[in-house]
Amino acid sequence: MVEIDDDIIKKKSIDELTHLFMDDIHEQNLRLIEGIEYLIKEDYGNFKTNLNSVIQTTAEIKIKKAFEEKLFKIRKASFTKADRLKLFSKINDMKNIGEFLAHKMLLYRVVFPDDEFKLRTAGILKSLRVISNDISDAVKSIGTDLNRAHDIGERIKEERRKMRKEEWELLDRLWDYDVDYIGRTWYYLKELIEGIMLLADHIKSFSEYIQFLSTKYLIF
């Protein structure tokens, strides 16, 4: 996780705090992805370690508090306070989704049904890592390069469309398993796939908001 020094954080600007917050949540996204990859490999020790780290909230609380205190002290900014708050809130929503998914996954130790299911799950995780990297880049570009931020949003939407196709392939495969397989494992895998896509859908929605901001400030 991102190391937080209370004295240093107080000296950071609004943009720096936003980037720091994005770095922290992005790192947690990557730990979540890596944790699921450990699950696929049946490495339950590292799986549990990674997901427990996603659940931690100390750093985010400190950054969020510093951001809000500093935001409401400034009188003038290139972006409106409402836009900055919403941007920050959408970053925080990624944390909430990842934390919720981590909690659910830690309830049960699953064994994947076969190598094909493992391979396809690894495929959507690869795409999730791509769009998580991209949304982090877009957030950091919005203050300096509006066109770049907008273009990144298009890449995210295209990658998410690929994930949606893989999601249905996985769910179709899950429904095709023998009826004896239906149980806690079946529901766990179904909710795992849907949880991954929930995070992907939020990143896609977030990228559309960044595109909206890019268009708004390019015009005005």
What CATH number does the domain containing 175 carry? Answer: 1.20.58.220
For residue 142, give its domain range: 6-219
Give the pLDDT confidence of 152-211 residue by residue, as tens digits. Answer: 999 999 999 999 999 999 999 998 887 566 688 888 999 999 999 999 999 999 999 999
In a domain, 1, yes or no: no
Instruction: Check residue 181 and give its pLDDT.
Output: 62
pLDDT category at 23 given cuts 50, 70, 90 is very high
Structural domains of the chain, count: 1
Using N-to-C axis directions, what is the helix angle for 14-40 and 44-55, rounded to 10°? Answer: 160
Instruction: Check residue 168 and give its pLDDT.
Output: 94
Segment 59-71 shows an average pLDDT of: 87
Kindly report the pTM of this predicted structure. 0.89
The sign of the dihedral angle between the CA atoms of 117, 123, 124, 128 is positive
In a domain, 90, yes or no: yes
Nearest to 54 by CA among 34, 70, 39: 34
In a domain, 166, yes or no: yes
pLDDT category at 1 given cuts 50, 70, 90 is low
| Structure tokens given for 15 | 């943009």
Instruction: Check residue 56 and give its pLDDT.
Output: 85
Segment 126-130 shows an average pLDDT of: 97
Instruction: Check residue 208 and give its pLDDT.
Output: 96
What proportions of the chain, in percent to the nearest 5, are helix, strand and coil? 80, 0, 20
In a domain, 184, yes or no: yes
